[in-house]
């Protein structure tokens, strides 16, 4: 065939191929010297004298030929078939195909023909189910098969979720969807697994009650990588966080064991879960705490991961006592997180998941690369050719391979060659960008220098304690931020005489007091700020 002449409009070509008892129409487009092969539409004869019933057609358009109908069906993701009436020149687009038992058909009129896409379900489900629509792989649905909304991040990103609230999600490893609380925050979309703020909900439940929820957490957390964030608010309104990367809960058979790869050190809340790695979940009626003398869940009146006679240094599911002075009563049966809170009582406890990165559909490595390339945070791709999944990575494999797991059959990994543009070219030992001073992330971006920048960028949303990292600082540190007529970064607050300011030079250098109350930030930190306020 000779090359077509250049034209502003695409050229349609018809290839007629004879199969055993059927015809196939293959539509192609030529744009310049490029040829794009479209869907193959087949004239089937499994229901002689019948065509797809009108109830399963969703649109009627004009068309002079079958090719016109195919051209109008092709760009619509839900179009699986075409009924062409050559006498009236109508194209009836179908949202299903004819079933094997012909029960969704009607008699074909004179000059009426039926064509269907030979592979209508595309990459995630090749077979047609008994109802004439796609029989999709797990985690996919529709005509053609497309991914379910796997978590809150995907829901907000796709525009399906528009505000904070309860939505149905369907992780890839789950057979059925289930509801979760979703919140859209400036830096992350949160999928909540626990929220306590009033103390009215009793968390001293039996194992059956927790199991129903943990089945969902297991399916969610094993569908793609997540970071667990624990947030506890005290009486003064200060929120303290602890983060656990690659959080996973095992299945019911193994006792819903707790696993994660890494926790962020030196946070305001502190790390309670590392001593509990690999621990099974316990309730008062299902004791799995490895202690022969104590039932930790009964002692602390809440289901949680406990271990040994000491149980745990935190009890987020224990009763919320909400004491008037904000201090714990010092009893076993109350909520606590003693690592950094000490005697401060929790007034609000939340646990939520933030996706470390995304899992998308893809027919080939090239599809995965095409989805990774425009995303500044994507450093690597793991392609699963059996499930047609692109797992986008926010890191690369470390030199000592400690951030890896065994590759399943048909899995391949690819990495970008220049992952840290502008402010850090080399990869650090942890497999992420080794950024210049004052920069972090993938790719390297500036830290938030002070409260002004935090409020301007939307990372800080209300008065409180936040981490900042001025360019002169090697590590971030916490400050109290307040937004009045302008954003303020506080280096000293005094409201009464309870905080002693008669300190030695070392204490003034390092700082003292509570950032949420009376305090001195510290000369070392003040020297690294570009601006400060005294009140």
Are residues 256 and 187 part of one domain? yes
Residue 239's Cα: distance from chain center in Å?
23
> Mind listing the pLDDT tens digit for each residue in 497-509?
788 888 888 888 8
Q: Would you say 115 and 66 are in contact if contact means Cβ atoms under 8 Å apart?
A: yes
**Total domain count, the chain:** 4
Q: Is residue 5 part of a domain?
A: no
Instruction: Please give the residue that has the higher pLDDT: either 348 or 452.
Output: 348
Q: Is residue 53 part of a domain?
A: yes
Q: Cα–Cα distance between 351 and 65 in angstroms, integer?
A: 58
Q: What is the gyration radius of the CA atoms in the chain, in angstroms?
A: 30
Which residue is it, tokens 């193994």?
254
Q: Cα–Cα distance between 168 and 411 in angstroms, integer?
A: 30
pLDDT, mean of residues 531-535: 37
Q: What is the pLDDT of residue 459?
A: 76
- Burial call 256-295: b when 16+ CB within 10 Å, e when fewer: bbbebbebeeebbbbbbbeebeebbbbbbebbbbebeebb
Q: Is residue 2 part of a domain?
A: no
Q: Would you say 202 and 369 are in contact if contact means Cβ atoms under 8 Å apart?
A: no
Q: Would you say 29 and 36 are in contact if contact means Cβ atoms under 8 Å apart?
A: yes
SS3 assignment, position 323: coil
pLDDT, mean of residues 159-170: 88
Q: What is the pLDDT of residue 313?
A: 96
Are residues 396 and 270 part of one domain? no
Q: Cα–Cα distance between 259 and 271 in angstroms, integer?
A: 14
Are residues 369 and 285 part of one domain? no
Percent residues over pLDDT 70 in the chain: 74
Q: What is the pLDDT of residue 214?
A: 65
Which residue is it, tokens 């002070």?
450
| List of residues 6+ apart from 507 with CB closer than 8 A | none
Are residues 340 and 368 part of one domain? no
**Per-residue tokens: 291:** 């202690």
Mean pLDDT of the chain: 77
Q: Cα–Cα distance between 269 and 288 in angstroms, integer?
A: 26
Instruction: Please give the residue that has the higher pLDDT: either 459 or 443.
Output: 459
Q: Identify the domain boundary among 436, 462, 479.
A: 436
Q: Cα–Cα distance between 229 and 263 in angstroms, integer?
A: 10
Q: Is residue 207 part of a domain?
A: yes
Are residues 362 and 322 part of one domain? no
221 Rama class: left (phi>0) / alpha (psi -120 to 50) / beta? alpha
Are residues 325 and 309 part of one domain? yes
Q: Identify the domain boundary among 371, 405, 436.
A: 436
Are residues 388 and 480 part of one domain? no
pLDDT interval class at 132 (50, 70, 90): low
> Mind listing the pLDDT tens digit for each residue in 319-349?
999 999 999 999 999 999 999 999 999 999 9
Are residues 120 and 58 part of one domain? yes
Q: Is residue 332 part of a domain?
A: yes
Q: Cα–Cα distance between 81 and 188 in angstroms, integer?
A: 41
Are residues 327 and 408 part of one domain? no
Q: Is residue 441 part of a domain?
A: no
The CB-side HSE value for 452 (13 A sphere, CA atoms) comes to 10
Quote the strand ranges of 7-63, DSSP E. 11-19, 22-31, 34-43, 50-52, 57-62
pLDDT of 289 strictly over 70: yes
> Mind listing the pLDDT tens digit for each residue in 56-69?
888 888 888 888 88
Looking up residue 135, the CATH number of its domain turns out to be 3.50.4.10
Q: Measuring CA to CA, how many Å separate 26 from each of 80, 83, 143?
A: 15, 16, 20
Instruction: Please give the residue that has the higher pLDDT: either 191 or 74.
Output: 191
Q: What is the pLDDT of residue 486?
A: 64
Are residues 91 and 17 part of one domain? yes
Are residues 378 and 332 part of one domain? no
Q: Is residue 112 part of a domain?
A: yes
Q: Is residue 461 part of a domain?
A: yes
Q: Measuring CA to CA, how many Å separate 253 from each of 65, 211, 286, 288?
A: 59, 11, 13, 13
pLDDT of 487 strictly over 70: no
Looking up residue 460, the CATH number of its domain turns out to be 3.90.215.10
SS3 assignment, position 417: coil
pLDDT of 312 strictly over 50: yes
pLDDT interval class at 443 (50, 70, 90): low
pLDDT, mean of residues 477-498: 78
Instruction: Please give the residue that has the higher pLDDT: either 215 or 206.
Output: 206
Q: Identify the domain boundary among 436, 464, 483.
A: 436
> Mind listing the pLDDT tens digit for each residue in 92-107?
988 878 877 788 889 9
Name the residue range of residue 526's domain: 447-534
Q: What is the pLDDT of residue 26?
A: 40
pLDDT of 20 strictly over 60: no
**Per-residue tokens: 145:** 């098969």
Instruction: Please give the residue that has the higher pLDDT: either 279 or 47.
Output: 279
Are residues 396 and 362 part of one domain? yes
């Amino acid at each position: 065939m000779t090359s077509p002449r250049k034209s502003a409009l695409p050229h349609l070509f018809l290839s007629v191929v004879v199969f055993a008892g059927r015809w196939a129409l293959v539509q192609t487009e030529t744009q310049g010297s490029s040829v794009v092969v479209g869907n193959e539409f087949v004239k089937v004869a499994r229901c002689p004298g019948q065509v797809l019933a009108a109830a399963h057609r969703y649109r009627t358009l004009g068309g002079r030929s079958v090719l016109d109908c195919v051209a109008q069906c092709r760009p619509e993701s839900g179009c699986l078939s075409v009924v062409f009436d050559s006498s009236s020149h109508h194209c009836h687009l179908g949202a299903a195909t004819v079933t094997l038992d012909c029960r969704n058909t009607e008699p074909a009129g004179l000059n009426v023909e039926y064509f269907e896409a030979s592979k209508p379900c595309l990459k995630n489900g090749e077979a047609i189910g008994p109802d004439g629509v796609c029989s999709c792989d797990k985690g996919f649905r529709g005509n053609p098969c497309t991914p379910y909304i796997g978590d809150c991040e995907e829901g907000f990103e796709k525009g399906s979720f528009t505000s904070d609230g309860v939505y149905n999600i369907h992780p890839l490893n789950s057979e059925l969807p289930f509801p979760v609380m979703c919140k859209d925050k400036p830096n992350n979309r949160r999928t909540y697994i626990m929220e306590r703020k009033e103390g009215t909900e009793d968390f001293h439940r039996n194992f059956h009650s927790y199991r129903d929820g943990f089945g969902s957490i297991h399916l969610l957390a094993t569908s793609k990588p997540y970071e667990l964030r624990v947030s506890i608010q005290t009486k003064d309104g200060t929120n303290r966080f602890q983060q656990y990367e690659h959080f996973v809960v095992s299945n019911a058979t193994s006792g819903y064991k707790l696993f994660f790869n890494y926790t962020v050190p030196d946070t305001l809340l502190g790390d309670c879960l590392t001593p509990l790695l690999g621990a099974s979940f316990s309730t008062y009626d299902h004791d799995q705490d490895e202690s022969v003398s104590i039932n930790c869940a009964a002692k602390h009146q809440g289901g949680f991961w406990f271990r040994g006679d000491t149980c745990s240094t935190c009890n987020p599911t224990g009763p919320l006592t909400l004491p008037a002075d904000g201090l714990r009563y010092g009893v076993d049966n109350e909520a606590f997180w003693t690592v950094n809170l000490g005697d401060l009582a929790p007034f609000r406890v939340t646990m939520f998941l933030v996706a470390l990165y995304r899992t998308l559909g893809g027919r080939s490595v090239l599809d995965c690369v095409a989805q990774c390339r425009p995303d500044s945070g994507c450093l690597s791709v793991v392609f699963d050719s059996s499930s047609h999944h692109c797992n986008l990575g926010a890191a690369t494999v470390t030199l000592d391979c400690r951030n890896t797991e065994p590759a399943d059959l048909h899995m391949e990994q690819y990495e970008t060659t220049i992952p840290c543009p502008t402010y850090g070219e080399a990869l650090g030992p942890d497999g992420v960008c080794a950024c210049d001073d004052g920069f972090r992330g993938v790719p390297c971006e500036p830290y938030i220098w002070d409260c002004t920048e935090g409020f301007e960028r939307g990372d800080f949303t209300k008065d409180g304690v936040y981490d900042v990292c001025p360019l002169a600082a090697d590590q971030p540190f916490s400050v109290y931020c307040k937004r009045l007529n302008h954003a303020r970064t506080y280096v000293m607050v005094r409201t009464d005489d309870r905080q002693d300011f008669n300190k030695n030079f070392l204490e003034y250098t390092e700082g003292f007091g509570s950032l949420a109350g009376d305090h001195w930030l510290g000369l070392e930190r003040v020297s690294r700020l570009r601006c400060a306020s005294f009140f």
